[in-house]
Amino acid sequence: MLRVSDVLGLVQPQFPTLTTSKLRFLDSNGLVTPQRTSAGYRQYSPADVERLRFVLRQQRDHYRPLTVIREQLDALDSGLLHEPVTLTEIGEAPDDYLTAAAVAERGGVTLETLRELEDAGIVGASTPGGYEPGVLTVVVAAAAYLNAGGDVRSLRTLVLAARREADRAEAHAAPLRRRAGGEAEAAAAEFGEAAIAAFSAVVRHQVGG
């Protein structure tokens, strides 16, 4: 059985944005529910860790809302859906910064497209010629949008709307910043997930109906 700190040490190299608050949020929403000690501390089994990786992959790579991920987990639990599991290398440190060429290659875009995204303010380098690994998530999503027929100008509008929601999430959590226990981070994460779900629901409803 693994403690929260152990899980973060195992999974964060692959998913740098994972935090204690995110684990608490997934637990409270019934997606990854570890066992509890008599003192109330969370303890994760290896199966819980693989379940966590599945949830994070669905969010990062496929941008699926929690409701859809929960349905997939139910299908996995009942044997209606199968997900191949591969061994994950432990102890491999993520790159500190990525070059533009590396971001373009891993994100599935050309250097020219990456420059267009940067000119539009959608992504940006953290240092001269250096990008944080977290920017890959945005580049992959941007590539999917552009490949589906969108354009950079429309994508910029979506990005600005998303940033406004992120600002609202931070403002919503601000009154809790003085308290201990990660309540502010959990509140911000919950607000953000609700905004994502609302956006997805509207788009799906309009496209499907």
The whole-chain average pLDDT of the chain stands at: 84
- Give the tens place of pLDDT for each residue, 80-106: 877 665 544 333 434 567 888 888 888
| 4-78: in CATH 1.10.1660.10 | yes
- Give the tens place of pLDDT for each residue, 152-199: 999 999 999 998 998 888 888 888 766 655 677 777 788 888 888 888
CA nearest to 4, candidates 56, 51, 39, 49: 49
- How far apart are alpha carbons 23 and 2 in whole angstroms? 13
CA nearest to 162, candidates 154, 136, 22: 154
Q: For 125-186, give the DSSP string.
A: -SBTTBB-TTHHHHHHHHHHHHHTT--HHHHHHHHHHHHHHHHHHHHHHGGGTTSSSSHHHH
- How far apart are alpha carbons 1 and 201 in whole angstroms? 37
- How far apart are alpha carbons 100 and 120 in whole angstroms? 16
Six-digit token pair at 53? 């990786």
Spans of all domains in the chain = 4-78, 100-208
Query: Are 113 and 100 spatial neighbours (Cβ–Cβ below 8 Å)?
Result: no
